[in-house]
Amino acid sequence: MGTDTVDRTGDIEAGADREFQRAWWRVQWVSWVVLSLLVLAGLAGLFGRGPLATTTATSPDGRVEVKYDRFARRGYASAIEVRVDPSAVRDRKIQLGLSPEAVETLQPEKTDPPPVRAEAGSDGTRFTFAADPDGGPVTIRFSQQPKSPGRVGGQVAVAGAGSVAFPQFVYP
Tens of pLDDT along 93-117?
888 888 888 777 766 778 888 888 8
Residue 1's pLDDT band (cuts 50, 70, 90): very low
Out of 2.60.40.10, 1.10.10.10, 2.60.120.620, 3.40.50.720, select the CATH number for domain 54-171: 2.60.40.10
pTM of model > 0.85: no
Per-residue confidence (pLDDT) for residue 33, from 0 to 100: 94
| Higher per-residue confidence, 107 vs 138 | 138
What is the rounded average pLDDT of the residues 44-70? 81
Between the alpha carbon of residue 83 and those of residues 9, 96, 99, 100, the distances in Å are 76, 11, 17, 20
Q: What is the mean pLDDT of the chain?
A: 82
pLDDT at 69 over 50: yes
pLDDT category of residue 28 using cuts at 50, 70 and 90: very high
> How large is the average pLDDT for residues 21-30?
93
How much is the pLDDT for 76? 79
As a whole-number percent, the residues of the chain with pLDDT over 70 amount to 92
E-strand spans in the chain?
Answer: 4-9, 12-17, 54-58, 64-69, 71-73, 78-84, 93-98, 108-112, 117-121, 124-130, 138-144, 150-158, 162-171
Contact 80, 111 (CB under 8 A): no
* Mean pLDDT (whole number) for 86-92: 83
